[in-house]
Amino acid sequence: MGFLENIDARLVLAAVAAVISGWVSWVVIEDVRLRRKYRFPPLVPGLPIVGNTFQIPMVDQGPYLQKLGEKYGEIRKRMVLMPYGDQWRQQRKLMHQVLNLSQQSIFKPFQDLESKALMYELLVQPEKWYLSFGRFSSSVILSVVFGRRTNHGDPTFLNIFKTQEDFVPYTMPGASIVDSFPFLANIPIWKKLQPWRWKGDEIYDRTLSVFRGLLDELERRQKAGTQKPCFMTELLDSESKDKNFTRDEIAFIAVTLLEAGSDTTRNSLLETVAGTAMYPDWIERARAELDEVCGKNAERLPTFDDIDRLPMIRASVKETVRWRPTNTQTGVPHALTKDDEFEGYKLPAGTVVTWNHWAISHSSGEYDQPERFYPDRFLDDDLDKVGKGHLGFGAGRRVCVGLNVAAGNLFIAIARMVYCFDIEQDPSHPVTVDKPFPLTAVVEPYKVIFKPRSEAHRRLIMRECHEAADIDIKA
């Protein structure tokens, strides 16, 4: 019996060794084949077999990759999976129907209402300013998509941000081993035994649960006759006839819309406040415009009708999305669907090409004093083109479809904040830009102080914004 056990052990070891040897041989042969067929950019030195997998940090990737780019060149090689196809086009089309420029008239009443609520919250609960930004941006898009508002105690609001916070880091290079070894995803073994799927599956299930809950809530309101018309009521009504999407696909359409319309605005406002606290010189010029339009004695709040008379505020919107990239410092990786060539390099289908938003935004070759928050840089003939002069909304076919809605959110919030409040650094905790801010929904990213500009401005907020801040999420 002991002899047989020894034989079995030797056979197992031999089999394992054969598998490892075969895999290493395949990696080497495949690498040689690809190098002969294609011309890759120069590689950053890494470890045998695993390459750069364990070199890239999970946080602050933008500055890290910027330094690598300065040392080795701007183009890198990396493998990851992110297909483009019919499902992406279908969802993009639906998002365009909700978020395109022609829909701004639908958003403006909600942006007006929620920005008033934001001003009131900054006045009465200034210590929760960072939470108020999240509530503002989420409530605008929730109103349009689901016909409901949100407040600080809304569990749906908290759950949405929690899923976003978990999801974004998981899309970054190095978050999963299949980023470096895509073939692992095709190994014919039970999915539950594939450890690289565990975290992704958990995020997927939790996200689906949150948005299924929103759909269930909407349908209960419909049956009770209390649901307001919104995008999802129209989609569900259409789907009752056409059957183009499953219920889970409808839930993820809602996921996409809410993520596109909330998190980026929240993070951008965090950046605006940081930039204002650190580089306040632009505020005087912006307030000169605001005081001329709305009155030096806090006569009224700025509105969307004032947009043409407030060029400095419009420029601050563009500077905000340029100055500090939101969500993903290095862009979201996307795979080539076919062989392609760029600047003399030949790249195979499946290669993921991403761009370092952080490096571009902080390049002295692109911008004068790139670390400075300086809206004046956008006071030019392209001021009306919200996506021109920066890559804050992405590029190409995947450019943010809701850029005009996002710009509207930022314009009305920044205009009213700058008009009504002084924003100051906490002397004991100065804001710095030596690394990206930890942009999470429930943690204060830095210390700032909001103070009404004057007693007249305080009264203006109480007079015009108090009612907007009375939010009943059950209504």
Residue 53 phi, psi (nearest 5)? -50, -45
- Residues 270 and 264 sit within 8 Å (Cβ to Cβ): no
Task: Of 250, 409, 447, give the one whose Cα is nearest residue 326.
Answer: 409
Cite the beta strand spans of 307-428 per DSSP E.
Answer: 334-335, 340-342, 345-347, 352-353, 421-425
Q: How far apart are CA 285 and CA 308, in angstroms?
A: 15
User: Binding site for heme: residue ranges?
Assistant: 400
Strands (E), 135-290: none
CA distance 419 to 443: 26
Find where tokens 């083109």 sit: 385
What distances in angstroms separate CA 17 from CA 9, 11, 13, 182, 260, one per listed residue? 12, 10, 6, 22, 48
Q: Using an 8 Å Cβ cutoff, are 136 and 114 in contact?
A: yes
Tell me if 418 sits within 8 A of 313, measured CB to CB. yes
Annotated binding site: 400
Could you write out the DSSP letters of every residue in 253-310?
HHHHHHHHHHHHHHHHHHHHHHHHHH-THHHHHHHHHHHHHHTTTT-S---GGGGGG-
Going by C-alpha positions, the residue among 111, 107, 115 that lies closest to residue 133 is 115
Token pair, residue 20, equals 């490892």
Rounded Cα distance between 316 and 308, Å, is 14
CB proximity list for 437: less than 8 A, separation 6 or greater: 270, 271, 274, 324, 445, 446
Residue 359 sits at the vertex; the CA angle it makes with 258 and 165, to the nearest 5 degrees, is 30
CA dihedral angle for residue 381, residue 387, residue 388, residue 393, rounded to 10 degrees: 160
